[in-house]
Amino acid sequence: MLSGTADVCQQVCHRLLQSKYFSTAKQAIESAGEFDLLILDGPARASKGTSEIAKVADLIVQPTGASLDDLVPAIKVFNALVKEGVPRSKLVFALSRVGTEAEELDARAYISDAGYETLAGCLFEKPAYRKAMNSGLAVTETRYKGLNERADELIQALIDKIGEE
């Protein structure tokens, strides 16, 4: 009985969650009507495709590390999108690979000074996250309660932000 239930759950999840490859941003945008939520993993640079996606997206989330080597180009991408007419309110950062809480605060201040929002929470640079993902688990399923709570805070902030749209 349980295996039958698992089979049904797997079939339902397969229909609910799909992964597709698109050769161009245009192809992805044209398929948007087929889905309730479309998540696109685009290049971390300002390109024609990035611009096309941003102009029709409800929300653009850009993951970034906390170093200036990560933050400076990330801000440049968002600045380019704003210059092309994308509202700042649609642009938000998610912090990952953060070393310390002080580094997190500095990164948040840098992003805020540039005029952009950062989601609450972050992913610290911890092997436990990689180990969880290598085992097929989510970043909220490490062996460490504190890391799970920080990851959950970030994910919940993203869910809340999507809900605002």
Over residues 90-100, the pLDDT tens digits come to: 999 999 999 99
pTM: 0.81
pLDDT of residue 39: 75
CA atoms within 13 A on the CB side of 49: 13
Of the candidate ranges 14-18, 61-65, 137-141, 144-148, the one whose mean pLDDT is the lowest: 14-18
Give yes or no for residue 155 having a pLDDT over 50.
yes
Contacts of 76 (CB under 8 A, 6+ apart): 46
Sorting pLDDT into bands at 50, 70 and 90, what band is 45?
Answer: low
**Domains, the chain:** 45-164 (3.40.50.300)
pLDDT of residue 44: 64
Of the candidate ranges 3-7, 56-60, 78-82, the one whose mean pLDDT is the lowest: 3-7
> What does the DSSP 8-state code read for residue 118?
E
For the segment 100-132, what is each residue's pLDDT rounded down to a tens digit?
999 999 999 999 999 999 999 999 999 999 999
Closest CA to 84 of 57, 107, 108, 106: 57
CA atoms within 13 A on the CB side of 58: 11
Sorting pLDDT into bands at 50, 70 and 90, what band is 145?
Answer: very high
